[in-house]
Amino acid sequence: MTQAEFVEQLETTGLPVFYMYAPKGTAVPFIAYTWDSDNFGADSKVYQRIAQVTVEHYHAAYDDGSALINVFNENDLFWNVERSFSADQKTYIDIYTMEVLENGE
């Protein structure tokens, strides 16, 4: 999966999607994600490109995350989630982490 394909899948949730962070003043709910590399290699070459992906879902009301979980499951992505609440911002934050095999740009 490419990064562009991953973003297209996130956009199927209907939520705004941003790389790294949302612009100041963006209303919740929204998604912010990061896409970093942790490739598998040996013999001085990369055998498989692997993206370390973090998806943060910001929302003001409780949400079980089913829209994102469905996207991840439909694309056979193994994920973990940590959930928290920011009392000063009155915002729930769900942080999903996963590895995505890259197959091109």
Please give the residue range of the domain that contains residue 52.
3-101
- The average confidence (pLDDT) of the chain is 93
pLDDT for 42 equals 87
pLDDT at 40: 86
The answer to whether residue 105 scores a pLDDT higher than 70 is no
What pLDDT does 79 receive? 97
Please give the pLDDT value at position 104. Answer: 61
Spatial separation of the C-alpha atoms in residues 101 and 3, rounded to whole Å = 10
Secondary structure in 3-state letters for 49-68? CEEEEEEEEEECCCCCCHHH
SS3 of 11, please? helix
Number of structural domains (the chain) is: 1
Q: Do residues 63 and 69 make contact, with C-beta atoms less than 8 angstroms apart?
A: no
Question: Could you read off the pLDDT of 73-96 as tens digits, one per residue?
Answer: 999 999 999 999 999 989 999 999
Q: What is the pLDDT of residue 30?
A: 97
The model's pLDDT over 9-27, given as tens digits with 9 standing for 90+, comes to 999 999 999 999 999 999 9
Give backbone dihedrals phi and psi of 89, rounded to 5 degrees, phi first: -95, -5
d(CA 93, CA 96): 10
Query: How far is Cα 19 from Cα 31, in angstroms, rounded to an integer?
Result: 9
CATH number for the domain that contains residue 36: 3.30.2000.30
Q: What is the pLDDT of residues 23-49, one digit of tens each?
A: 999 999 999 999 998 888 889 998 888
**pLDDT of res. 52:** 95
